[in-house]
Amino acid sequence: MDVEQLRSASVSVIGAARSGVAVGRLLRSQGANVFLSDRDTEERLKSHIPHLQESGIAYELGGHTERVFQCSLMVISPGVPSNAPVVLEAQQRGIKVVSEVEVAGWFCRASMVAITGSNGKTTTTTLIGRVLGDAKKKHALAGNIGTAFSSIVLELAETDVAVLEVSSFQLDHCETFRPTISVLLNITQNHMDRYGNSMEQYAASKSRIFMNQTPREVLMYNADDLWTSRVIAQAKCRAIPFSREKRLAVGAFIEDEMLVTMLGGKRTAVIPLTEISIKGPHNLYNAMAATLVGQLMNIGSASIRATLRNFKGVEHRQEFVREVNDVRYYNDSKATSVEAVWYALQAFDQPIVLMLGGRDKGNDYSRLADLVGKKVRAIVALGESAEIVEKVFKALKQVKRATTMDEAVLFAQQFAQPGDVVLLSPACASFDWFENYEQRGLVFKELVKNL
């Protein structure tokens, strides 16, 4: 949509949490008549209401009325499914429906580096930000990482870089979104509840990150990932791979235990693998992607090398919390898919007491069976999926169901022996017990600190 057309246009925003409020305020600042609607209660959304009132945005809570359809444009927050009745009704009435990221992109003057994937988005986004920051390159992190793109986009200059973590939900209703550099880390089974158990549909959603890129823009992609390798055939932009498994003519790869890149005919041995602070095979992919982005941004290898040595990871992602009685506790609350747990289990050599479960997203837990058999001492089953978790793993390991996080931490402590690791790595969304994965991780950490 032409930005000029937004002036005095009627726009409905669905979802009154962080992203919805941010895009509502952005559109209001540009002269649009904004109406915001959410099915949730005033009590649950009370922290966001003052921002709406300050901006003069009309809103309704507790359900969607006919007024939401009195618009020429509907903007939906990431938490609103594409098949939500309000979205389907709007489309049936011929109302244009777009995502918050799409709208923010209309106003972005800066270069955009957008990162998606089933696993590793937050770590890679944060690491790219650190690479840019250490090189004194002005940038901002936004998107699924926690800061709505709409809330910072007007502050960015042409010489800045917007580093965006983008989920499939945010991509679903993008039409013109076109990053300068896109990064596709992997496509593994996730959110099957939202995509009708269709990997094809989920992969198509992820591939929207590069659908508008031209030969002037760049796509970085994981050459070792099956679904990623399939979808990049559609790309019309310059595609640069990274791989742990093979040497490449162009891109990033491993050679003689070094992270090596080949760009513009120049081979660069960036850093020995032993010096990269974030561990595990999944983090090696994240490091390669961040290295390639840095090099394309004309950041020198010495600066990138220093960042890779110093970067210790992100909160809620295999985050060391505390050691108690020779047992180390790790917070991996951000692990909301089976694949994320699979990677987490590979990162430890010690026996693991695994805290697993939450709001299920159509998970196939059996894919963890081999690793659980080899690495896990016992499982504490959490939340709504506790019964499913117990059913899948009770023949392999001792499983105990917890009804609260307090109880779960107590059970984990009882299972653990000196030298073990207790790992909160749920493979599920957090919305059964918590508002988000951050709150889940913070509660876990607080409980561990009080042991």
Q: Which residues contact 185 (CB under 8 A, 6 or more apart)?
A: 115, 116, 117, 118, 119, 120, 121, 124, 222, 225, 228, 285, 286, 289
pLDDT band for 125, please (50, 70, 90 cuts). very high
Q: Supply the DSSP symbol for 119.
A: S
- Specify the fold of 103-310: UDP-N-acetylmuramoyl-L-alanine:D-glutamate ligase (3.40.1190)
Q: Is the CA virtual torsion 242, 288, 212, 190 positive or negative?
A: positive
pLDDT tens digits along 149-163: 999 999 999 999 999
Beta-carbon count within 10 A of 266 CB: 8
Q: What is the pTM for the complete model shown?
A: 0.81
Count how many residues are written for the chain. Answer: 451
Q: Which pLDDT score is estimated for 376?
A: 97
What the block records as the tokens of 321 is: 């919390």
Cα 148 to Cα 59: distance, rounded to the nearest angstrom: 19
pLDDT band for 217, please (50, 70, 90 cuts). very high
CB 370 within 8 A of CB 341: no
* Across 330-345, average pLDDT: 91
Instruction: Report domain extents, the chain.
Output: 8-94, 103-310, 319-449
Name which of 172, 115, 173 is nearest 144 in CA terms: 115
Q: Supply the DSSP symbol for 5.
A: G
pLDDT band for 423, please (50, 70, 90 cuts). very high
Name which of 6, 167, 150 is nearest 73 in CA terms: 6
Residue 191 has pLDDT above 80, yes or no: no
* Across 367-396, average pLDDT: 95
- Specify the fold of 319-449: Protein-Tyrosine Phosphatase; Chain A (3.90.190)
Q: Which residues contact 40 (CB under 8 A, 6 or more apart)?
A: 16, 61, 62
Q: Supply the DSSP symbol for 135.
A: T
Q: Average per-residue pLDDT in the chain?
A: 92
Q: Between 42 and 95, where is the model more confident?
A: 95
CB 383 within 8 A of CB 433: yes
Hey, is 438 helix, strand or coil? Answer: helix
CB 171 within 8 A of CB 99: yes
Task: Report, as residue numbers or ranges, the catalytic residues.
Answer: 121, 144, 191
Cα 335 to Cα 11: distance, rounded to the nearest angstrom: 35
Hey, is 213 helix, strand or coil? Answer: coil
pLDDT tens digits along 268-309: 999 999 999 988 888 999 999 999 999 999 999 999 999 999
Asked: is 8-94 a CATH 1.20.1630.10 domain? The reply is no
What the block records as the tokens of 160 is: 């800045």
Cα 401 to Cα 162: distance, rounded to the nearest angstrom: 43
Strands (E) located in 180-336? 181-184, 218-222, 238-242, 251-255, 258-263, 266-272, 319-324, 327-331
Using a 10 angstrom Cβ sphere, with 0-12 exposed, 13-18 middle and 19 or more buried, the burial of residue 197 is exposed
Which is it for strands 181-184 and 96-99: parallel, antiparallel or unpaired?
unpaired
